[in-house]
């Protein structure tokens, strides 16, 4: 039987385990890599390129998160592919972002600068998306689209958009989306479209933000691994 003193010491030890998670999250670069992995599994090379940091730094940060069991890794031929270890990791990221928005004044400035929508406008755009009343563009890289996307969305990565404008009907409003509220690709796409004479807006919800909004993301056929049902990935408080 555990003595009282031993039980208290063991109870205190769980804070050390919680601190492992906190330490692994305590880096802007690691949070960036984690947010990219919320979009789908990626190789180290792909993550480094998307994050704009070196391969060596990316690998080091990923190893630290792997040590804390936030991500897992699997070798695919010559490459190592990382993915979130559990859907609750994505939920924790969303909760951390919500907390920062609630407590940190700097987040208000960032929201204004990056065009984060007010709830009423977001819901109005999302209702049009659900109704199929707009042309929906996913402007993320192709591998993220393949991992999961909104039903009916067209994959038009942002760098390809200027030369693919002719594919888009001018009589319908265009709604672009990317990785979430603080991803600038969708606002850049909407501005480009408006400059070309289209009616265009952006939706600031990413695939991980949609599971509680009755918009079930789709996944394109892939030889491996089988698509993940994103409804099981609780992605933090909906916006």
What digits encode the pLDDT tens for the residues 103-139?
999 999 999 999 999 999 999 999 999 899 999 999 9
Tell whether 116 and 75 lie within a shared domain: no
- CA distances for 234 relative to 41, 93, 171, 189, 231, angstroms: 17, 10, 36, 28, 7
Longest dimension (CA), the chain: 76
By residue range, what is the domain housing residue 14?
A: 4-85
Catalytic-labelled residue, pool 37, 50, 70, 178 = 178
Tell whether 38 and 101 lie within a shared domain: no
pLDDT of residue 209: 86
Domains identified in the chain, total number: 2
**Burial class of residue 7 (count of CB atoms within 10 Å of its CB; 0-12, 13-18, 19+):** exposed
Neighbours of 205 (CB within 10 A): 25
CB 208 within 8 A of CB 94: yes
Residues of the chain with pLDDT under 50: 212, 221-239
Residue 183 known to be catalytic: no
pLDDT of residue 41: 95
Count helices and strands (H / E) in the chain. Answer: 9, 7
Tell whether 112 and 137 lie within a shared domain: yes
Tell whether 66 and 13 lie within a shared domain: yes
Domain of 41, CATH number, reads 1.10.10.10
DSSP string for residues in 90-125: HHHHHHHHHHHHHH-HHHHHHHHHTTPPPHHHHHHH
Given 28, 58, 85, the domain boundary residue is 85
pLDDT of residue 11: 82
pLDDT of residue 77: 87
pLDDT of residue 236: 39
């Amino acid at each position: 039987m555990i003595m009282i003193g031993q039980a208290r010491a063991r109870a205190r030890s769980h804070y050390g385990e919680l601190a492992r998670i906190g330490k692994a999250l305590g880096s802007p670069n690691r949070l960036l890599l984690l947010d990219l992995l919320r979009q789908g599994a990626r190789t180290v090379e792909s993550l480094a390129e998307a994050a704009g940091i070196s391969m060596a730094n990316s690998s080091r940060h990923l190893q630290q998160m792997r040590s804390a069991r936030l991500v897992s890794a699997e070798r695919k031929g010559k490459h190592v592919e990382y993915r979130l270890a559990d859907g609750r990791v994505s939920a924790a990221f969303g909760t951390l972002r919500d907390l920062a928005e609630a407590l940190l004044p700097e987040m208000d400035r960032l929201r204004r600068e990056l065009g984060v929508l007010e709830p009423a406008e977001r819901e109005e755009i999302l209702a049009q998306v659900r109704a199929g009343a707009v042309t929906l563009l996913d402007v993320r890289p192709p591998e993220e689209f393949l991992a999961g996307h909104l039903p009916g969305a067209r994959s038009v990565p942002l760098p390809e958009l200027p030369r693919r404008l002719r594919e888009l009907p001018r009589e319908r409003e265009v709604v672009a989306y990317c990785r979430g509220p603080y991803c600038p690709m969708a606002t850049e796409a909407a501005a480009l479209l408006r400059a070309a004479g289209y009616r265009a807006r952006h939706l600031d919800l990413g695939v991980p933000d949609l599971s509680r909004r009755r918009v079930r993301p789709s996944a394109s056929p892939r030889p491996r691994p089988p698509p993940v049902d994103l409804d099981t990935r609780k992605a933090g408080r909906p916006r």
